[in-house]
Structure 1
């Protein structure tokens, strides 16, 4: 990996949206913390690069990557085939989606059909939004529709739930579990829409170098140790690699 394949020589700049604890968040002192932060810093050390985290909302990340403002995206993004054609994706964990409801108005949600007839909040332009909208399309004409509300961040989704603007929220499991543990919501459904969580990069060379660093972490045990500490499921694959074709 040559210096000219990075936005700034000697630095690995990656976007993050620190509104998804415990993967990425800002503590009371204003310090960026979480699993993805630790993962990014570890990768940087193994590649002898200074890691620069660039905070931005998720919808701005892919345009920023394409415009060469950042080298990569490190924000707990879910892998999709469409994304794998826009950038070089390196999946690093398995994640699922959960449905949560307000502790002040606990709704019974026995299955995904129970989302019908309700206002459901999701983070805008996310895997969970696409999953929810695909689910909404499967509703028969005789059934009540799913009223999908998309918000800029997961924090905005939770604010809407607390304000009673939506009846329930669909969140990545790691965020939902953290919110439930803090008694800000009640778990209604879990383990939906299983998929891979991925890093993404502007150039193939950087993506290959990051995948190699992750494989080194897998070999020495630090990869599994980090993911397990945060309740994430390691990939079952024998080798961490780029998944998809990348940009045409």
Structure 2
């Protein structure tokens, strides 16, 4: 009996002093992933590294303690858990994300990026939500907009390299063809900078994703004049097909057990329609 007790004490002491990576590996052995990813397909074995631009509340933002919060953060953590991987977010602005992903700095992009035909040919894109555009004005603005044509001749701020920018420039080109004034589109590196410019009186309006407009209108920062313009799926992007396929399976599992729907309902974002499976959309690179 004493020898057994002594063995248990020695084992407990060994576990207490065991290196953290070994303990993490031991925990991982007890996890059954919904889809296995070979370590060679990840930038770092055992870890899912995703780039995120935390300037878009409530989808992704940094709280007063400097911690990441929002739907994309919670969804990313859930996906990693289902794949038995450690989640690691890489904070950075959106413009350099795609080149950095292609260079192998991280495994994927999870920042509410819109799906486009061009991107689907250079990355493995997995749509996971639907997004559209709202046009907002400062809370004290007297500007009234009945339809998108009323933006002719107005200055509108946007975050560069986004669906909002392409949609707005397309609208501006169409207005010019119809003999109306062009829209003065002013781009900023982040949505936060664009909103700062709007509130400083440097623009008439801002083109935002719907969920951002809803959040900022609720907080009294802006007024939403036009809602649900355009529209396209937002997607996660990956450099490796097997990682993208595994993430799609994790999303499917989350939809099947109801956690995906509950998360989107809690944050007020639009789910990918139930008749659309989570899968790579597009050819992908090569």
Could you tell me the TM-score, scaled by structure 1's length? 0.98
**Larger-Rg structure:** 2
- Aligned with residue 183 of structure 1, among 196, 220, 228: 220
Could you tell me the TM-score, scaled by structure 2's length? 0.85
Q: Which residue of 2 aligns with 1:62?
A: 98
The offset of 1:21, in angstroms, is: 0.2
The offset of 1:143, in angstroms, is: 1.3
What's the CA shift string for 1:32-88, capped at 9, x where partnerless? Answer: 000000000000000000111000000010011000001000001111111111100
Q: Which residue of 2 aligns with 1:95?
A: 131
Question: Do 1:99 and 1:171's aligned partners in 2 also have CA atoms closer than 8 Å?
Answer: yes
Flag structure 2 segments of 5+ consecutive residues without an equivalent. Answer: 1-36
C-alpha distance in 2, partners of 1:24/1:238? Answer: 24
| Alignment RMSD | 0.9
The offset of 1:122, in angstroms, is: 0.6
C-alpha distance in 2, partners of 1:139/1:223? Answer: 40
Indicate the SS of the match to 1:48. Answer: coil
- Aligned with residue 196 of structure 2, among 159, 176, 179: 159
Q: Which residue of 2 aligns with 1:195?
A: 232
Question: Do 1:106 and 1:186's aligned partners in 2 also have CA atoms closer than 8 Å?
Answer: no
Aligned residues: 248
Indicate the SS of the match to 2:130. Answer: strand
Indicate the SS of the match to 2:95. Answer: helix
C-alpha distance in 2, partners of 1:247/1:139? Answer: 35
1:135 and 2:171 correspond? yes
The offset of 1:176, in angstroms, is: 1.0
C-alpha distance in 2, partners of 1:9/1:188? Answer: 48
Q: Which residue of 2 aligns with 1:150?
A: 187
More contact order relative to length (CA 8 Å, sep ≥ 6): 1
The offset of 1:115, in angstroms, is: 0.7
Structure 1 consecutive aligned stretches of length 4 or more whose deviation exceeds 4 Å: none
Flag structure 1 segments of 5+ consecutive residues without an equivalent. Answer: none
C-alpha distance in 2, partners of 1:185/1:238? Answer: 34
C-alpha distance in 2, partners of 1:176/1:86? Answer: 30
The offset of 1:208, in angstroms, is: 0.1
- Aligned with residue 104 of structure 1, among 129, 133, 140: 140
Question: Do 1:24 and 1:32's aligned partners in 2 also have CA atoms closer than 8 Å?
Answer: yes
Q: Which moved more, 1:171-180 or 1:38-47?
A: 171-180
Instruction: Judging by fraction of residues, say which structure has more helix.
Output: 2
